[in-house]
Amino acid sequence: MSIELILALTTGAALFGVGIYGALSQTNLVMIMMGVELILAGAMVNLVAFWRFLHPDTAAGQMFVLIVMTVMAIEMAVGFGVAIARFRSRGSVEMEEAVELKG
Amino acid sequence: MTAQMFFIGFFGISAIWFGVVVFRTFSMVRSALALLFSQTALGAMFLAMQAEFLGVLQIMMMATEMSIMAIFMVMFMMDPGGMGTMDMTHQKRLSLWAGFVSFVGGVAIAVFVDWGPIAAIAPDAAQQTIDLGLEILGRSMLIFEMAGLTILTAMIAATAISIPELKGKQQ
C-alpha cells in the first residue's frame, strides 16, 4: 500500500466533505457554488492520484481531469448567469428567498 | 519519508485548510481568495504527483476563475467586507454531519480497499503531453468535442438568461 496514494485520497475525501458542508449550509448562491467547486476539486485529486499511482501508462485519467475542469467552468458560467438573472429580478442572490421556485 | 510524500502531504493540508477558511470567514473577498489558495495548493499537489501539465493548467485556470468569482462576490453580496458579521448559513448541524460522513466514508474507502500494484515511476513531462494529445485526438476525441460543444452551449445559455428582459416590442 502506498502512503502517497492514501494521502492524496484522504485529501480528496476532506475536500469533498468540506464542499458538501459548504454547499448544504450556505444561503448565498455564490457561496453554494464555492462548495460545489470544492466537491469537484476533491474528485480531481482522486483522479490524478489514480492516474499517477495506479495507471500512469494511459492518459485516460488525465483526460478525465480535463472533463472535470470543463464541468467546473460550465458550473461557474451557468451559476453566474442564474445569479445575474436572480439579482436583476429580486435584488438578492439569497437562496432562502427563492423558496417560491419550488412550485 | 520521501520528498514526494512530504510535498503531497504539505500541499494537501494547505488545500484543506484554505478550503475550510472559505466557509469560516465573514468577508466574501477573503472567501474567494481562500478558495484561490486552496485550488492553487491543489495545482502544486498535482505537480508533486508529477502531473506537470494538469498542475500548471489548474493554477492558471483557477487564478482566472477565482478572480472573476471575487468580482461577482463584491457585486452581489450585501456585506462583501464582512464588517457586520452577518450569519449566512442554515441547517448547520445537518451540513456538518453530511460533510463528516462523506469524509469518513472517503477515508475508509482509501484505507481499506486493495488498490493493487502501485506504479513506481510516471512518464516524463514531454511523454505525458504526447500521450494526452494522442488520447484527446484519438480514443477520447468525441468526448473532448462534446466538452467543447457543452462549454459553447453553457456560454450561450448564461448570456441568454442574464440579459435583461425587453419591455414591450422594439421597432
Please report the pLDDT score of residue B85 as a whole number: 64
Return the closest-CA partner of residue B77 out of A65, A91, A5, A101: A91
What CATH number does residue A80 fall under? Answer: 1.10.287.3510
The mean of the pLDDT values for chain B is 87
Work out the pLDDT band at B80, boundaries 50, 70, 90: low
Of A10, A16, A87, the CB nearest to B76: A87
C-alpha distance from A17 to closest chain B C-alpha (Å): 4
Indicate the residue of B38, B45, B94 with minimum beta-carbon distance to A24: B94
Question: Which residue of chain B is at minimal alpha-carbon distance from A18?
Answer: B99
Contact B38 A38 (CB under 8 A): yes
The residue that leads in pLDDT, B169 or B153, is B153
More confident residue, B114 or B70: B114
* Cβ distance of A10 and B151 shorter than 8 Å: no
Average pLDDT over residues B140-146: 92
Which candidate from A21, A62, A63 shows the least CB-CB separation from B96? A21
- Angle at which helix B28-48 crosses helix B3-24, to 10 degrees, equals 160
Q: Which chain A residues contact residue B5 at CB under 8 A?
A: 3-4, 7
DSSP E strands in B88-140: the ranges are none
Q: Would you state the pLDDT for residue A85? A: 85
Q: Residues in chain A with pLDDT < 70?
A: 1, 101-103
Helices first, then strands: H and E counts in chain A: 3, 0
Is the Cβ pair B20, A25 closer than 8 Å?
A: no
Please give the residue range of the domain that contains residue A83.
Answer: 3-102
Cβ–Cβ below 8 Å for A60 and B123? no
The alpha-carbon gap from B79 to the nearest alpha carbon of chain A, in Å, equals: 12
Q: Tell which phi-psi region holds residue B124, choosing left (phi > 0), alpha (psi between -120 and 50) or beta.
A: beta
* Count: domains in chain A: 1
Q: How confident is the model at residue B116 (pLDDT cuts 50, 70, 90)?
A: confident
